[in-house]
Amino acid sequence: MTLLQRFLDELYQRYHTLGDGTVASYIPELKKADPNWFGISVVTVDGRVFGAGDIQQKFTIQSVSKVFAFGLALESQGRDTVLEKVGVEPTGDPFNSLIRLDEDSKRPFNPMINAGAIATTSLIKGSGPTSKLNNLLSMFERYLGHEVFIDMPTFMSERSTGHRNRAMAHLMLHFDMISHDINAALDLYFQQCSVMVTCQDLAMMAATLANKGKQPVTQKQAVNPDYVRDILSVMYTCGMYNRAGEWAYRVGIPAKSGVSGGILAIVPGKAGIATFSPLIDKNGNSVRGIRVFEELSRKYGLHLFDLSMGRCVFSKATQDTSES
Ligand code: DON
């Protein structure tokens, strides 16, 4: 057994009883999640898979999808057009903050908050709703290396209750930041949030970004490598909402969370890491996930600005079976 696998097992044991946080309930369907679900998964850029706990449990991807939709919007429209409609500035506000459109440009601040994600999703290319949805699903399949499905009950649940997101879309339509068919844009956004994944899937998607956009197992390019830097930069500054600064300080790698309890993070050039636990804090981030990432970062010197340890310690742990 590798040192990394042993440490993941240890982390699972340490945190699987941590009961802080609550299961998200504002989307009624999310309430059905089991608070005990907990998984940790690591996939290296050469396709080796490590994991502990419920890494094959399916759940809806929620806001983690914003990362990948941003990449697809960049590929669809190019950087300049996307940046006309959505900025790259952190807000320090909650993910569903309604009113903070940039005062001068009227753009939503960034693609990781709901308003910015709705604007981004509306930029995905396609001749109509079905073609856009197919492009979105094919994109997810390139990252995952297998077929994806939308969880219809979650999609319908959010579609019928997502009034706040609808209000944002109307406001952005008023400011010409989104095309006229806001219902189609919202449906596509709700669909992207309802894509079913597992913890291991998230780690594979993260590993793809860590590998310049090339899926480590299929070796297919999931996203144009020119845009990986754009994606990782926005994740680093905005991926954890109003905890983005604290995360950058303590964990120090680009990451994204979702209200269903997933977090994925990228160790550039090395690996993708994901955690899944539906118990989330007031910022919408998984409580157990944050603790696990803080420990992994500290142990293996994963922080991008940690010059003392060197990330070779992490690579060694994925291979070495001896005691450190
Ligand atoms: O739009 C929403 O509210 C959800 N579909 C996604 C929110 C989410 O995951 C925010 N993350 N912490």
Please give the pLDDT value at position 103: 72
CATH 3.40.710.10 residue spans of the chain: 3-62+196-317, 64-193
Q: Closest Cα partner for 8 from 43, 57, 47?
A: 43
66: annotated active-site residue = yes
Dist. CA 113 → ligand 1 center (Å): 8
Dist. CA 94 → ligand 1 center (Å): 10
- What number does the ligand 1 atom closest to the CA of 114 have? 1
- What number does the ligand 1 atom closest to the CA of 241 have? 12
Tokens of 279: 């118990």
| Amino acid (1-letter code) at residue 250 | R
189: annotated active-site residue = yes
Tell me which of 149 and 98 has the higher pLDDT: 149
Q: Is the pLDDT of residue 188 over 80?
A: yes
In the CATH scheme, what is the code of domain 3-62+196-317?
A: 3.40.710.10
Burial class (CB in 10 A: 0-12, 13-18, 19+), 20: exposed
Please give the pLDDT value at position 95: 63
Q: What is the DSSP string of 19-68?
A: --SEE--SSGGGGGS-TT--EEEEEETT--EEEEESTT--EE-GGGHHHH
Please give the pLDDT value at position 63: 97
| Residue range 38-84, pLDDT digits in tens | 999 999 999 999 999 999 999 999 999 999 999 999 999 999 999 99
Three-state DSSP class for 267?
A: strand
| Residue range 261-275, pLDDT digits in tens | 999 999 999 999 999
Please give the pLDDT value at position 121: 97
Against a cut of 0.85, is the pTM above it?
A: yes
Are the beta carbons of 154 and 30 closer than 8 angstroms? Answer: yes
Three-state DSSP class for 261?
A: coil
Residue 215 CB contacts under 8 Å (≥ 6 apart), including other chains: 142, 143, 145, 204, 208, 221, 222
In the CATH scheme, what is the code of domain 64-193?
A: 3.40.710.10
Overall average pLDDT of the 298-306 stretch = 93
Largest CA distance in the chain: 62
